[in-house]
Every structure is written in C-alpha cells, then in structure tokens.
C-alpha cells in the first residue's frame, strides 16, 4: 500500500511541477508588416491610414486607424423652396416641364426696409385692390403700392454645369428637373478601422492581425497562416496543461482512496 501511495504522490508531484513551470506561448511576430505608434501613417494597398489612437479596452488592447476620403456630396433644392446665400434668402424658381436652368430670386426683408424708412409705417396695408405702404411726407400720407415702394428683387439664373459659392464652398449644378435642382461638391469623410488585439481585421483588401508589444505600440502582420499556427500551438499547450491538471487530481484522489482502504477493518 505504501509503495502505491508513494507512486501516486510522485506522479502528482511531477505533473504539478510541469504544470507550474510551463510557460504559455504568446502570439507574436518577429517581422510584422508595420510596427507603429499614435499619429504614425500606415500605407496599405495604395491607401494611407493614420493611427488615431492606441488604448486598452475591456477585452484587451485596441487600435484605431483613420482615413480621410474625398467623396462627392450633393444637396437638393426643391422648387419654390428658400435657401441662404451671401447672408440673404433666395427663393428657388423653376419653370417648364423640361427646364434648362433655374432662377434664384432674392426674398426681400420688407420689415427691415420699412424700419429703416422713417417716413413709412412699419407694416403694409391691405386694401381690396392690393397691398400698400403708408408713406407720410410733409404731414401728408400717401398709399404707395408695394411693387412701387420696394425695390425689384435681385435674380440669378444657373444652368447645368454652372458653379456658385454656397455655404462657404463652390458647388456645381448637376441636374435640373421641373421639381428640383441638384448641386454637388467634393467633400471629405473619415473612415475608421477598429483593431482588436489578436483579432484578424481587413484593412483595404489585406487581412492583418494585431499585437501590442507595449501600451503605445501596435504591430500589424499579414502572416495569417503564422498567426493561426501560433493559435493552434496555444490550444495544444492548454490541452496538455488541462491533462496534467487532471493527472494531479486523479493521483491525489487515488492516494486518498488507498489510504482509506488501508484503514478499513478486516473481517478476519
């Protein structure tokens, strides 16, 4: 009995030592495609990306790449709608079923014009035959038709392909229909790529896996086969470790059973 107990203790001790001293392999690349820090540039498939940040997330380290891309933006101006241009309001007017141009008609600020004229009332007057402005000069009040009192609104016409300054940018008339006019311009948009530690990610048309040698450095490798081989090696290591742990547990259980059996009283 003592020999068997010693044998199982020896087996458990050996397995325990192997389990305690074994070092788990880690994902790493000797020659990554890129090893970058924040604000560095990464060139992939002819496209440029900037490392916007490296930080620690809930599931490990993370990196963020950003790319500024030029895109075409557009805006639609509906017929009879108003837009703001040169700090003034303009009404979009389109006539005909197949128009070749549209017109921007200035929307006069009648209230401001009346307030600036000390001889005119601040409000227009409605009569059966039309709308008037009451103008008082030399103690005599005259009703002036609004069409005569207010200046003629400014008009600007544009055809397809024409350009104009709008909202601090140069826009081009792209399309005109009976219902609307469409203007286009070139703008930029920011594309973001979130990269998680040891998780394959596609940048451009290339797949990479990222590791983080330290809190401020990110390594990117396109050696996916090498990454998968390292993952398989780690899985195999975990299986061996689990097996050794089971050996330790079973060996100690066997020792306990043998000791318990040794103290069982005999019937003879």
**Within a domain: 23:** yes
Q: Write phi, then psi, for 118 (nearest 5 degrees).
A: -65, -20
Tell me the whole-structure pTM to 2 decimals.
0.59
**Within a domain: 137:** yes
Nearest to 195 by CA among 174, 173, 184, 210: 210
Q: Please state, as a whole number, how many other Cβ atoms lie within 10 Å of the Cβ of residue 212.
A: 18
**Within a domain: 142:** yes
β-partners of residue 92 are 104
**Within a domain: 4:** yes
- Measured at the CA of 190, the angle between CA 194 and CA 186, to 5 degrees, comes to 160
For residues 194 and 135, give the distance between their C-alpha atoms in angstroms, rounded to a whole number.
Answer: 68
The label of the residue with tokens 């009569």 reads: 127
**Within a domain: 199:** no
For residues 181 and 101, give the distance between their C-alpha atoms in angstroms, rounded to a whole number.
Answer: 9
The helix/strand/coil state of 174 is strand
Instruction: Among 152, 178, 208, identify where a domain stops.
Output: 152
**Within a domain: 251:** yes
**Within a domain: 67:** no
User: Which residue segment(s) compose the domain that 132 sits in?
Assistant: 108-152
Per-residue pLDDT 10s for the chain (268 aa) are 555 545 545 555 554 554 555 455 566 677 888 999 999 999 999 899 999 999 987 778 999 999 998 999 999 999 999 999 988 999 999 999 999 999 999 999 888 888 888 888 888 888 888 899 898 888 888 898 888 888 889 999 999 999 999 999 999 999 999 999 999 999 999 999 999 988 889 998 899 988 898 889 999 988 887 777 766 666 665 565 665 566 566 655 655 665 566 665 655 5
The label of the residue with tokens 């290339």 reads: 206
**Within a domain: 75:** no
**Structural domains of the chain, count:** 2
The helix/strand/coil state of 226 is helix
Residue 221: Cβ-neighbour burial (10 angstroms; 0-12, 13-18, 19+): buried
On whether the CB atoms of residues 130 and 74 are closer than 8 A, the answer is no
For residues 37 and 40, give the distance between their C-alpha atoms in angstroms, rounded to a whole number.
Answer: 6
């Amino acid at each position: 009995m003592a020999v068997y107990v010693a044998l199982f203790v020896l087996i458990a001790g050996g397995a325990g030592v192997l389990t305690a001293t074994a070092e788990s392999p880690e994902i790493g690349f000797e020659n990554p495609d890129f090893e970058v820090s924040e604000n560095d540039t990464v060139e992939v498939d002819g496209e440029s990306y900037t490392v916007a940040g490296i930080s620690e997330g809930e599931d490990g380290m993370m990196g963020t790449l950003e790319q500024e891309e030029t895109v075409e933006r557009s805006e639609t101006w509906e017929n009879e709608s108003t837009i703001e241009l040169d700090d003034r309001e303009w009404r979009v007017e389109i006539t005909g079923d197949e128009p070749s141009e549209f017109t921007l008609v200035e929307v006069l600020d009648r209230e401001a014009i009346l307030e600036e004229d000390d001889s005119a009332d601040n409000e227009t007057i409605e009569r059966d035959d039309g709308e008037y402005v009451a103008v008082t000069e030399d103690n005599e009040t005259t009703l002036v038709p609004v069409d005569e009192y207010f200046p003629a609104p400014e008009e600007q016409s544009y055809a397809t392909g024409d350009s104009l300054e709008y909202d601090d940018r140069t826009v081009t008339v792209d399309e005109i229909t009976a219902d609307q006019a469409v203007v286009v311009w070139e703008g930029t948009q920011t594309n973001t790529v979130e990269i998680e530690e040891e998780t394959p990610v596609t940048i451009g048309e290339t797949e990479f896996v990222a590791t983080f040698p330290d809190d401020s450095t990110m390594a990117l490798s396109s050696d996916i086969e090498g990454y998968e081989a390292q993952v398989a090696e780690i899985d195999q290591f975990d299986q061996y470790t689990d097996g050794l742990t089971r050996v330790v547990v079973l060996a100690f259980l066997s020792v306990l059973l043998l000791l318990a059996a040794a103290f069982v009283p005999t019937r003879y």
